């Protein structure tokens, strides 16, 4: 298993938007995203902090993409 590249919440939001996710709502610093096919996830947006590898892995599980797909999408 390769190490995931750490990114900011804003970069994750851009990646989700690229995949067709829509920001449904926000409560405090947590943004909730949904996809028309039923997938959903939450992204915390704490200024000055990057997402941890564990959190990125959880988001990838929620949106059902592999770490390899994540790295490919991130580099586009």
Q: Give the DSSP per-residue string, 60-75.
A: HHHHT--HHHHHHHHT
22 Cβ partners below 8 Å, 6+ apart? 33, 34, 35, 36
User: pLDDT tens track of the chain, all 76 residues?
Assistant: 568 999 999 999 999 999 999 999 999 999 999 999 999 999 999 999 999 999 999 999 999 999 999 999 998 8
35 occurs within a structural domain: yes
For residue 48, being part of any structural domain is answered with yes
Task: State both tokens at 1.
Answer: 């298993």
- CATH number for the domain spanning 16: value is 3.30.920.30
Residue 4 lies in a domain: no
Q: Is residue 55 part of a domain?
A: yes
pTM across the whole model:
0.92
Whether 32 contacts 25, CB under 8 Å: yes
Q: Which helix (H) or strand (E) holds 17?
A: helix 9-18
Domain enclosing residue 31, as ranges: 9-74
pLDDT of amino acid 75? 87
Is residue 3 in some structural domain? no
């Amino acid at each position: 298993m390769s190490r995931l590249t750490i990114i900011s919440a804003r970069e994750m939001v851009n990646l989700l938007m690229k995949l067709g996710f829509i920001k449904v709502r926000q409560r405090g610093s947590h943004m909730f995203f949904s996809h028309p096919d039923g997938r959903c996830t939450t992204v915390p947006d704490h200024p000055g902090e990057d997402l941890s590898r564990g959190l990125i892995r959880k988001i990838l599980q929620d949106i059902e993409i592999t770490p390899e797909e994540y790295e490919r999408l991130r580099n586009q």
